[in-house]
């Protein structure tokens, strides 16, 4: 696969940017998917996607949303392509989410159909499933007598809603088009240098931008995907050896666990492409991985769900610049922008702003928050148009390499998961044990960040813990809870988060 750098590319319109055409990227007899059901070649993949698309087209009208709440089954892996082929919008729901969070996503997206497993369906309470949303098991969905062929629809049509937490409020759906997903897949396949003989162990959730991209970029290169739901790091180690995996992407906490795991002699020798995303990689961890897998390239990446991948550090620069997030990927323009809108100079802090065809279409049914994050590109932009203003602060050095400085918002990133403080605080108050709560992110060697919850309330720790266990996934569980008699407030009467963070060491 050959592709010019973004700064030199002037033929974007020549690319077939329909997402469902990814099923045609590999040679028909080559293996596309290896799972518990066996191997599926690219011809079989194309047929299965067409069959699933035909089934969905019978259940929903073009443009309607199809939600899935599944582990990495074969159906889950094919849904993004099948929905695209049928002119529908895929809404993948993180399988770690609890029923109340699933209910919010179903209601907010206006999903017409939820595809899940019977055991998961029993977890839903009355009222969680909207009246106009049907429930379907995944069983039998890949069997259909007349598969749909690849479509020739609008490349800018909405293809997926990826729900991601914001610094306030509940998760919001990022709108991504066929072109966003397609070009993101092509770009990552290109700069990672994925080849048809590669095997990608897909360990990231398919509801994450990076997890969905690892699937699509592998197929864009005509290579094989091995989906894996793992419990412990040793599950990943065993899968690498069993399937002779060559490509592995992970978030920093997983890489830390893998660096501490026991690798039998030769167990990781097949690995040739490693990549990290979802948070800052500590320099000692980068050094450790380079020593553990000297035969493999390591690419450090930075991405935004709102722009579906942004920067990467070339593997040849990792040893010399392990603290960098690199430069813009193909099809992206990434800038450091000063508060006055001018481009920041070398070694000057600025907000990371992403322009170009990878920029998404905004937040689903939320024009107010869309207007805050999706704004006109700065005057110095080469692409122009609408850009994503990330809220993250970076510094660009004289070599053009970017270094992540910090987040301007209050998001907490636990094991690569973006956690909204407001969602944690609302859950604490809903327990009945807490009157007020502030969730803070504190550094954690294994998780990147952990949640420290400062609360004023009854002191009923058992009640609060039981509520969290029942209502929130593991990555949203506070590591510690600090009970106080009073919380400081600002002149407007609101909780003074800066003072609370300073007092409690966040």
- Average the pLDDT over each of 13-22, 165-174, 184-193, 270-279 and give the range with the smallest value: 13-22
Instruction: Convert the pLDDT of each residue in 435-484 to its tens digit.
Output: 888 999 999 988 999 999 999 888 899 999 999 999 999 999 999 999 99
Q: What is the mean pLDDT of residues 291-301?
A: 96
The residues near 109 (Cβ < 8 Å, ≥ 6 apart) are 65, 67, 91, 161, 163, 173, 364
Task: Check if the beta carbon of residue 275 is closer than 8 Å to that of residue 255.
Answer: no
Task: Check if the beta carbon of residue 205 is closer than 8 Å to that of residue 96.
Answer: yes
- Average the pLDDT over each of 78-82, 357-361, 422-426, 482-486 and give the range with the smallest value: 422-426
Instruction: Convert the pLDDT of each residue in 320-365 to its tens digit.
Output: 999 899 999 999 999 999 999 999 999 998 999 999 999 999 999 9
Q: Please tell me whether residue 366 adopts helix, strand or coil conformation.
A: coil
Question: Between vectors from CA 97 to CA 92 and to CA 98, what angle results, nearest 5°?
Answer: 130
Q: Which two tokens stand for residue 337?
A: 């922008």
| Interatomic CA distance for residues 189 and 84, integer angstroms | 20
Instruction: Convert the pLDDT of each residue in 199-243 to its tens digit.
Output: 999 999 999 999 999 999 999 999 999 999 999 999 999 999 999
Q: What is the mean pLDDT of residues 37-44?
A: 96
What is the overall mean pLDDT for the chain? 90
Nearest alpha-carbon partner for 364 in 170, 177, 108, 66? 108
Question: Which pLDDT score, from 0 to 100, does residue 11 have?
Answer: 42
The H-assigned helical ranges of 261-378 are: 283-292, 367-373
- Average the pLDDT over each of 14-18, 69-73, 385-389 and give the range with the smallest value: 14-18
Q: What percent of the chain has pLDDT over 70?
A: 94
End-to-end CA, the chain? 46
What are the angstrom distances between the C-alpha of 96 and each of 92, 120, 177, 472? 12, 11, 25, 9
More confident residue, 349 or 7: 349
CB neighbours of residue 351 within 10 Å: 19
Strands 311-313 and 327-328: antiparallel
493: left (phi over 0), alpha (psi -120 to 50) or beta: left
Q: What is the mean pLDDT of residues 169-192?
A: 92
| Interatomic CA distance for residues 310 and 352, integer angstroms | 10
| pLDDT value at 10 more than 70 | no
More confident residue, 112 or 443: 112
Nearest alpha-carbon partner for 216 in 322, 208, 154? 208
Question: Which pLDDT score, from 0 to 100, does residue 169 have?
Answer: 59
| Interatomic CA distance for residues 395 and 324, integer angstroms | 10
Question: Which pLDDT score, from 0 to 100, does residue 6 have?
Answer: 39
| Interatomic CA distance for residues 303 and 205, integer angstroms | 15
The H-assigned helical ranges of 28-125 are: 42-59, 74-86, 99-109, 118-121
| pLDDT value at 31 more than 90 | yes
Cα 432 from chain centroid? 33
With cut-offs at 50, 70 and 90, classify the pLDDT of residue 2: very low
Residue 113 bridge partners (DSSP): 66, 134
Instruction: Convert the pLDDT of each residue in 134-173 to its tens digit.
Output: 999 998 899 888 899 998 888 999 999 999 875 445 789 9
Question: Which pLDDT score, from 0 to 100, does residue 320 have?
Answer: 95
| Interatomic CA distance for residues 137 and 69, integer angstroms | 10
Domains of the chain from N-terminus onward = 22-402 (3.40.50.12780), 412-503 (3.30.300.30)
With cut-offs at 50, 70 and 90, classify the pLDDT of residue 55: very high
Instruction: Convert the pLDDT of each residue in 393-406 to its tens digit.
Output: 899 999 999 998 87
């Amino acid at each position: 696969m050959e592709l010019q750098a973004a700064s030199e590319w002037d033929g974007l319109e020549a690319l077939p940017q329909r997402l469902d055409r990814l099923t045609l990227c590999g040679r028909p007899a080559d293996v596309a998917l290896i799972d518990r059901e066996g191997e599926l070649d690219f011809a079989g993949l194309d047929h299965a996607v067409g069959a699933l698309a035909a089934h969905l087209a019978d259940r929903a009208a073009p443009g309607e949303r199809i939600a899935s709440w599944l582990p990495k089954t074969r159906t889950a892996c094919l849904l993004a392509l099948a929905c695209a082929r049928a002119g529908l919008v895929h809404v993948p729901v993180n399988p770690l989410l609890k029923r109340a969070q699933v209910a919010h996503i179903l209601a907010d997206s206006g999903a017409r159909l939820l595809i899940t497993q019977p055991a998961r369906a029993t977890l839903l309470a009355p009222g969680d499933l909207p009246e106009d949303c049907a429930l379907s098991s995944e069983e039998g969905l890949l069997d259909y007598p007349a598969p749909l062929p690849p479509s020739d629809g609008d490349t800018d049509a909405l293809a997926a809603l990826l729900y991601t937490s914001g610094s306030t409020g509940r998760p919001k759906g990022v709108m991504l088009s066929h072109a966003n997903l397609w070009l993101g897949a092509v770009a990552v396949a290109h700069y990672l240098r994925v080849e048809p003989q590669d095997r990608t162990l897909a360990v990231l959730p398919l509801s994450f931008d990076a997890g969905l991209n690892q699937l699509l970029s592998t197929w864009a290169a005509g290579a094989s995907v091995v989906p894996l739901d793992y419990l412990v790091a040793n599950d990943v180690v065993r899968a690498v050896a069993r399937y002779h995996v060559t490509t592995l992407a992970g978030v920093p906490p997983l890489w830390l666990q893998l660096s501490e795991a026991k690798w039998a002699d030769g167990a990781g020798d097949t690995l040739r492409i490693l990549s990290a995303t979802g948070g800052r990689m500590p320099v000692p961890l980068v050094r450790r991985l380079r020593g553990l897998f000297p035969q493999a390239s390591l690419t450090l990446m930075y991405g935004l769900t709102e722009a579906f991948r942004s920067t990467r550090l070339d593997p040849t620069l990792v040893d010399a610049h392990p603290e960098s997030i690199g430069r813009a990927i193909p099809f992206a323009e990434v800038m450091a922008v000063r508060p006055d809108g001018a481009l920041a100079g070398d070694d000057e802090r600025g907000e990371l702003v992403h322009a170009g065809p990878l920029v998404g279409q905004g937040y689903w049914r939320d024009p107010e928050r869309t207007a805050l994050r999706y704004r006109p590109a700065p005057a110095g932009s080469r692409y122009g148009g609408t850009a994503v203003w990330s809220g993250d602060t970076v510094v660009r050095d004289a070599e053009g390499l970017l270094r992540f400085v910090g987040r301007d918002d209050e998001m907490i990133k636990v094991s690569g998961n973006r956690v909204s403080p407001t969602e944690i605080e609302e859950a604490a108050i809903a327990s009945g044990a807490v009157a007020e709560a502030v969730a803070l992110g504190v550094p954690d060697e294994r998780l990147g960040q952990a949640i420290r919850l400062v609360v004023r309330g009854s002191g009923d720790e058992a009640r609060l813990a039981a509520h969290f266990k029942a209502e929130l996934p593991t990555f949203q569980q506070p590591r510690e809870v600090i009970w106080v008699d009073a919380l400081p407030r600002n002149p407007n009467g609101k909780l003074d988060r800066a003072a609370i963070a300073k007092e409690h060491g966040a």
